[in-house]
Amino acid sequence: MSYEKLRELRTKEIIEQETFDESRIRKAIEDKRELYLKDRTTALRARQVLNGVITVEKFIELAKIKADKNIAKRLAELDEKLNRIANASGVESITIAVDWVRNSTWGNNPHAEVEVCTANRCATYYGTASGCGYDKESASVAQALNQSSAVLKLLYDNKERALQRDEKATSRDVLGYGSGYSVLPYFEGGVGINCFARILEGLSYDKDCPVAYKWEHTACGKRYDVYSVRKV
């Protein structure tokens, strides 16, 4: 799959995010907002324009050059990512093992180990989470799942098919809660592990999708949980 719609919409999204706004830069210089100006060029250039070492016009010229470079870099990264995921093999199974490690400050922290098997090979990815006030288990598992091109291919394929029918379709429209807000879908952290089960088991809702998966909570203990995803 070439991901024509994903490529088109993500390209538009990147360009919008890097939009060069001259009026905002002039206002930031007037208000001496050094942090904003630093992000547009460099810390040195921000100090220089605020101290009168370079002119406002020169700063704007440099900011425009940086914006163009950022767009070119991000589009090149997008091209590499989409090509890599498009060429990934199909997922046969996923095994997720979460060990809960005691931390004196944050209590039990999850350490996720995710093995993704395709027809050609198995690869292992890792994720961790700490802190409090959110679902740490899903955060650690999401970190690991999002490293796998084969897993992301499942999401991208379904999103691309949906966009071919309706380019206004969001990731959540297509895949459900926990699949991200960007044009490119991903597993969100902090949403609860059951969201990932619904996303993966829901892939076969599409009549053009040739695969279906079954999620199971296969083992659990005081300090561990194991989940498996199998092709059915």
> Of 39, 55, 86, which residue constitutes the final position of a domain?
86
Residues 115 and 214 reside in one and the same domain: yes
Q: Evaluate if pTM is beyond 0.75.
A: yes
Whether the Cβ atoms of residue 144 and residue 152 lie closer than 8 Å to each other: no
Residues 121 and 46 reside in one and the same domain: no
Q: What is the pLDDT of residue 207?
A: 54
Average pLDDT of every residue of the chain:
94
165-180 residue pLDDT tens = 999 999 999 999 999 9
Q: What is the pLDDT of residue 204?
A: 66
Q: What is the pLDDT of residue 23?
A: 94
> Of 50, 71, 86, which residue constitutes the final position of a domain?
86
**Arithmetic mean of pLDDT, 129-153:** 96
Q: What is the pLDDT of residue 208?
A: 57
> Residue 227: phi, psi to the nearest 5?
-125, 150
Give the residue from 115, 132, 137 showing the smallest Cα distance to 124. Answer: 115
What residues have CB less than 8 Å from 128, skipping those under 6 apart?
A: 109, 110, 111, 112, 140, 143
Residues 34 and 144 reside in one and the same domain: no
220 CB neighbour count, 10 Å cutoff: 11
**Arithmetic mean of pLDDT, 129-139:** 95
> What is the domain range of residue 69?
4-86
16-34 residue pLDDT tens = 988 888 999 999 999 999 9
211 has pLDDT over 80: no
**Arithmetic mean of pLDDT, 190-197:** 96
Residues 118 and 134 reside in one and the same domain: yes
**Arithmetic mean of pLDDT, 5-16:** 96
